[in-house]
């Protein structure tokens, strides 16, 4: 059983390798990610039955969620786990033996470290109309992981403030309900009550959440420029785009220990290996994932 093998491996790391508790937990999270994926695919495999093909499929799945460095770190944890099982004759062949780390040149967009995100948010001038709006925009991007195309089409009627959820319309006009952090919701409310209410809104644009000074909805290019200017203003030299926040959202949740299915559900992502396989999760469960594993939620609570 997975639980027995994982516990045995943990004891090995603690007692024989002398690793610190944080390091042991990191290894455990790596293995649990593979186990979650196996459950997601309904493969019903024991550790002894995992093949190289399963490992490769799992890495391909991760490639749609996180950057190459995170994939490599998880693979490293899996290699240690299966090498331990091989040494203890619990498996006959290590399924990770010939699996190479992903190429760094093919990584997804850069991830911002949490302090950089905090720096960007703190650097926004809230005394200006655009500043209050921009703070709400960046808070929303990082708190929910939604795409820039989904952000610009958010409507006032998509906000469920009483339960901290947004209704998001994604690719193929598919809708999903996404939890949003308390800080992000606070800045959305401030923007609506203090800025948006004083904009002369163009006919037909009344329901769009984020507007420009002319009272029309924002374009993708405008969001890109807002994000770029906010990053440059505080000296961040990385190539930051709206998608950087989506990718940072997924990576920070994954590395914090959040459930793979919850991350995929919130991103509204369907990869080739998981279309129609994963089940929709309870909304309260998704909200709990944000509370427990999102860095900004942890920061605001503590």
Positions marked catalytic: 147, 171, 243, 246, 269, 278
Q: What angle do CA 181, 37, 92 make, to 5 degrees?
A: 145
Structure token pair of residue 83: 């090498």
Q: Is 176 helix (H, G, I), strand (E, B) or coil?
A: strand
Question: DSSP state, 173?
Answer: G
If you write DSSP's letter for every residue of 217-244 in order, what string do you get? BPPHHHHHHHHHHHHHHTT--S---HHH
CA distance 256 to 89: 31
List, in sequence order, every residue forming a beta bridge with 165; answer none if it has no partner: 160, 179
Axis-axis angle for helices 182-194, 129-144 (nearest 10): 150
CA distance 170 to 267: 9
């Amino acid at each position: 059983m997975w639980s027995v093998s994982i516990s045995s491996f943990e004891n090995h790391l603690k007692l024989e390798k002398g690793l610190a508790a944080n390091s042991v937990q990191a290894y455990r999270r790596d293995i649990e990610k593979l186990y979650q994926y196996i459950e997601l695919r309904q493969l019903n495999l024991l550790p002894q039955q995992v093949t190289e093909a399963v490992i490769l499929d799992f890495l391909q799945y991760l490639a749609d969620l996180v950057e190459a460095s995170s994939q490599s770190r998880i693979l490293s944890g899996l290699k240690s786990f299966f090498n331990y099982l091989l040494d203890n004759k619990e498996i006959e062949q290590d399924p990770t033996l010939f699996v190479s780390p992903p190429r760094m040149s093919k990584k997804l967009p850069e991830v911002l470290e949490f302090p950089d995100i905090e720096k960007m948010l703190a650097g926004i001038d809230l005394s200006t109309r655009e500043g209050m709006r921009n703070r709400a925009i960046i808070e929303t991007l990082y708190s929910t992981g939604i795409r820039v195309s989904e952000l610009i089409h958010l409507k006032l009627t998509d906000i469920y403030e009483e339960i901290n959820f947004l209704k998001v319309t994604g690719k193929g006009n598919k809708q999903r309900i996404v939890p949003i952090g308390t800080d992000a919701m606070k800045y959305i409310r401030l923007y609506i009550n203090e800025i948006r209410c004083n904009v002369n809104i163009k006919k037909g644009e009344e329901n769009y959440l984020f507007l420009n000074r002319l009272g029309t909805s924002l374009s993708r290019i405008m969001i890109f420029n807002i994000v770029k200017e906010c990053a440059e203003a505080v000296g961040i030299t990385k190539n930051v785009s709206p998608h950087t926040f989506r990718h940072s959202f997924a990576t920070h949740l994954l590395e914090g220990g959040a459930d793979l299915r919850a991350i995929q559900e919130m991103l509204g992502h369907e990869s080739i290996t998981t279309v129609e396989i994963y089940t929709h999760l309870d909304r309260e469960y998704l909200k709990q994932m944000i509370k427990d594993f999102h860095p900004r939620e942890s920061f605001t609570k503590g």
